[in-house]
């Protein structure tokens, strides 16, 4: 079992799905988890489950595309804990699947802002806090379509490809001058609300639950992986 006692972990998009499962797994491993997302009620439910299981968590409702929202969050974490050990970048939006020629520019802009620009803002605002940790790790959740594009997934695929490039470049920039390590993890087919939207006719039982991905992320946090590290969670249900 990975022991994360005394470590501070921030999970974006932790109100449901892989984010919520990862937050709960982090708490079980001993970390204090900062839960972020837009749905305060859902975050409170995750926090309550963590507390009921004997874990420790704090909710911090933040819309990642809100001006200065991430900066305020970083300031709050700095003032309370003075460091950040683990940053899980999970929050993302899936726009409507459509041909590239038919992409709605307004929706595409929101997708890029959430999936790409917010990622850079997270890295910029939490860089100093991560470097104050004895063992700082960043894990970004990506998608198969980032490296294997397919028809009608252009908007989402482009955003996740850019997401991967940002994380890979950040890993290369920090690995020789700090202890920061970066992993890019593709969860593969997973039973989430986003997956259900993309594949409405799919039997949810045919893909693995979010807890499988969460367990792998916790195990990875206990490994001395090389930065940048890449992997796909392929376990079937």
Total domains in the fold of the chain: 1
| Count of all residues that appear for the chain in the document | 237
Residue 139 lies in a domain: yes
Residue 1 lies in a domain: no
Q: If we measure between CA atoms, which residue out of 59, 92, 89 comes closest to residue 76?
A: 59
Measured CA to CA, the distance from residue 132 to residue 7 in angstroms comes to: 12
**pLDDT of res. 193:** 93
Answer yes or no: is pLDDT of 1 > 70: yes
CATH number at residue 150: 3.40.50.720
Residue 237 lies in a domain: no
When pLDDT is cut at 50, 70 and 90, the band that residue 191 belongs to is very high
Q: What is the pTM of this model?
A: 0.96
Residue 164 lies in a domain: yes
**pLDDT of res. 237:** 60
Measured CA to CA, the distance from residue 204 to residue 209 in angstroms comes to: 9
When pLDDT is cut at 50, 70 and 90, the band that residue 234 belongs to is confident
Tell me the average pLDDT across 211-218: 97
Tell me the average pLDDT across 8-22: 97
* Residue 187, domain extent: 8-232
**pLDDT of res. 134:** 97
Answer yes or no: is pLDDT of 235 > 80: no
**pLDDT of res. 236:** 66
Residue 2 lies in a domain: no
Answer yes or no: is pLDDT of 220 > 70: yes
Q: If we measure between CA atoms, which residue out of 139, 105, 147 comes closest to residue 119?
A: 139
Residue 199 lies in a domain: yes
Q: What are phi and psi of 140, to 5 degrees?
A: -110, 135
Tens digits of per-residue pLDDT, 18-66? 999 999 999 999 999 999 999 999 999 999 999 999 999 999 999 998 8
Express as a percent the part of the chain with pLDDT over 70: 99
Express as a percent the part of the chain with pLDDT over 90: 96
**pLDDT of res. 67:** 83
């Amino acid at each position: 079992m990975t022991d994360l006692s005394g470590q501070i972990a921030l999970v974006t998009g932790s109100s449901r799905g892989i984010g919520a499962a990862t937050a709960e797994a982090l708490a079980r491993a001993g970390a204090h988890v900062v839960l972020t997302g837009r749905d305060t009620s859902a975050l409170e439910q995750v926090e309550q489950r963590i507390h009921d299981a004997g874990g420790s968590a704090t909710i911090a409702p933040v819309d990642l595309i809100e001006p200065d929202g991430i900066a305020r969050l970083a300031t709050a974490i700095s003032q309370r804990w003075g460091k950040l050990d683990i940053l899980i970048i999970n929050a993302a939006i899936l726009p409507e699947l459509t041909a590239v020629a038919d992409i709605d520019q307004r929706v595409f802009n929101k997708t890029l802002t959430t999936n790409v620009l917010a990622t850079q803002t997270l890295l910029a605002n939490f860089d100093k806090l991560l470097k104050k940790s004895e063992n700082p790790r960043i894990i970004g959740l990506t998608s198969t379509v980032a490296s294997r594009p397919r028809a009608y997934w252009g908007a989402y695929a482009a955003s996740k490809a850019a997401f991967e490039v940002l994380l890979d470049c950040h890993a290369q920039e920090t690995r020789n001058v700090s202890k920061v390590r970066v992993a890019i993890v593709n969860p593969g087919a997973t039973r989430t609300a986003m997956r259900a939207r993309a594949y409405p006719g799919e039997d949810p039982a045919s893909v693995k639950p979010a807890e499988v991905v969460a367990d792998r992320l916790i195990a990875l946090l206990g490994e001395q992986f090389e930065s940048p590290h890449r992997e796909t969670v392929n376990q079937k249900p």
